[in-house]
Chain A
Amino acid sequence: MDALSQLGAAALRVCEPTSLLLMIAGVAVGIIFGSIPGLSASMAVALFLPLTFSMSSSLGMNVLVAVYIGGISGGLISAILLNMPGTASSIATTFDGYPMAQKGEAMRALGVGIVFSFLGSIFSFIILTFFAPWLADVALKFSFPDNFGICFFALTMVAILSAGNMVKGLLAGMLGLVFALVGLAPIDGTARFTFGIPEMRGGFNTLTTLIGIFAVADILVSAETIGGGVKTIPVKKVKGFGFSIAELFKWTPGAIRAALIGTGIGILPGIGGSTSGMLAYVTAKNMSKHPETFGQGDPEGIVATECANNATIGGALIPLLVLGIPGDGVTAMMLGGFLIHGLSAGPLLFVKNADVVYGIFAACMICALIMLIVEWTCIKAFVQVLKVPKHILLPLILVLCAVGAYATNNRIFDVQSIVVFGVIGYLYHKFRLPTTPFVLCFLIGRMTEEYLRRGLQRFKTFGAFFQRPIFCVFFGIAVAVILWSVYKEFKASRAEKKA
């Protein structure tokens, strides 16, 4: 009850006009930053940090939370409309969101994405409010081998993604792993596969890779048929958010599962929203009665991804607030915000500055609501983009991609790499190789190696990993997934031969 009353008091403070106005501004700026690739949530938070100097610590932190929430959720707009993930978190939103938009269902896709972003956020904030200290204890129990177990498990999802043509799917993923190897090796910093090019020592940037493989490749693919006549994408008008109450209930179990995955991954430092979105997507596809519709414009794909990536926010705030450990770039910026305001994130924060902590919890929930309202009111404005004929729209997108890629690190190398990945994406399309395994492997490859080597550094042998129950569970599931997938593939190929 104590938590509830503190939350109520904090909500009243957060709802003061000045605070509300600043949070609306924060969410709006966050959404703009989130929807443009290259401008990330962490950049938006960094930009807002100095502006919070003159505010009270509680108000300052609330504004930063507003920017963070807007930044993560804004990515879905460009992912759905332009096949250009605005942030790495919204990568899996493109899989079904973009096909839906192409079929004229852009408004419905945006509606689904926005509502489930909201629900995912609220779910994780409730967990954050009531279970933060307890969950932080659990997160502390995760060591390198356990994280390796999770990454290994996530990699085996490629097998599920590739059902139907497993060998090709696995090969498609392997190229992602090879690209993840480029740069300085974890721990010892040995330069690998850099071919003497200094810029390659830092490896390929995640966002530029994604922009290349999706947006740039899409331009090349569209060029094949664009000569046939002027193409604009139809936009069907929808009522409300574009889905019925019956559909909402139908999608709820999947949404809860995705929100749990998102919050769970968020709590573990260093894994992040992009992985949680992908994992939730693959799980939803695997558990679905009609997996073949995923990737063709199934709203359940958007439900899973958007719920998970937004639920990651609440999850990521848990180790930040309770232990003072930032899990990714944005939370690291937020930690900077704490320091500026003379607060030290960690167990003492709950004792010394409970008002700030509960203020953040209340701000999280109210910002999620603001995000829902702002994005919903702007849906009609967003979809106007699709009225531009494709032969004009696609080049504009490419310029934005190039600028976005440049803005991530101020390096021309990143701009050049989007072309390389664009060509890879195009060739994948021509040779009918799936791009999802590539993206998943690229995202997780580096982490997997790092956790494996750090684990071995500490525990000396791989056998010692098996003394850790968390590792055993994930490793066991991963092995089961592999065996089950191979069995299913074998059975399917035999059935095909008989037919």
Chain B
Amino acid sequence: MFFRKYGDIIVGLFYTALGGLTIYLAKQLPKSRVMKIGPDFMPMVIGTLIVVLALMLLFSALKNFKANAAKAEAMPADTSDYKRVLASLVLVVIYVNILAPVGFILSTLGYLFLQIVVLAPDDRRSAKNILLYAVIDVLFVFIVFFLFRYGFKIVLPAGMFTL
């Protein structure tokens, strides 16, 4: 509901800011000494276009706000499970940041298991299920590691655990 009601206004505001920032950063770039258009030309054009389009979107969103809000009210309520989304996002962010220092095997063993548990429906979190997830986790991580390391000759981040 929130996204349907205020979505376009937020998008408009975000893009206005993005366009403004692009123009500001483009102005900091050096002009070309050898030709008419330099590295600042394209960012300038894109930034200006973004601002114009974003203002158009904002204008139309504000103009039709009442009608759109009524439509949004009539929609069924948002039942999205944001807890699982947020937990997944936090896990992924942690995972990609510890991948290098901790190494592929350890970090993936941890991440994959936790991610499966987070995504598992409530009735699939019994002790038996959890054990199954742990087995899948270990098998998958080692298969991927050995396949890439010895099959494709790609060395994954070793971190503190080298093989």
Instruction: Mark A residues whose CB is within 8 Å of B.
Output: 39, 43, 47, 167-168, 170-171, 174-175, 177-178, 181, 185, 188, 190, 192-193, 216, 219-220, 222-230, 389-392, 394-396, 398-400, 402-403, 406-407, 410, 412, 415-416, 418-419, 422-423, 426, 430-433, 449, 452-453, 456-457, 460-461
Contacts and interface: CB of A to CB of B under 8 A. Distances in A.
Given A178-B46, A226-B121, A416-B96, A399 B140 contact: yes
Given A167-B53, A175-B18, A407-B154, A227 B42 contact: no
A465 to B, nearest CB: 13
Given A174-B53, A431-B7, A431-B11, A403 B148 contact: yes
B108 A223 contact: no
A220 B85 contact: yes
A168 B119 CA distance: 32
A402 B96 contact: yes
Contacts of A423: 89
Contact of A224 (B84, B108, B112, B153): B84
Nearest to B82: A224
A453 B43 CA distance: 13
Contacts, number: 172
Contacts of A389: 124
Contacts of B136: 392, 396
A170 B56 CA distance: 11
A432 B5 CA distance: 12
A416 B157 CA distance: 14
Interface of B: 3, 7-8, 10-11, 15, 18-19, 22, 25, 29-30, 32, 34-39, 41-43, 46, 49-50, 53-54, 56-57, 60, 79-82, 84-85, 87-89, 92-93, 95-97, 99-100, 104, 108, 111-112, 115-116, 118-124, 133, 136, 140-141, 144, 148, 152-157
Dominant secondary structure of chain B at its interface with chain A = helix
Given A229-B121, A398-B115, A402-B99, A432 B53 contact: no
A224 B87 CA distance: 11
A26 to B, nearest CB: 16
Contacts of A410: 154-155
Contact of B148 (A229, A407, A418, A431): A407
A177 B39 contact: no
Contacts of B89: 220, 423
Nearest to B60: A167
A419 B93 contact: yes
A398 B92 contact: yes
B156 A419 contact: no
The 10 closest A-B pairs by CB, nearest first: A185-B39, A395-B115, A224-B80, A391-B119, A190-B39, A223-B84, A412-B100, A223-B85, A449-B42, A391-B120
B25 to A, nearest CB: 6
B25 A230 contact: no
B50 A227 contact: no
Contacts of A399: 108, 111-112, 140-141, 144
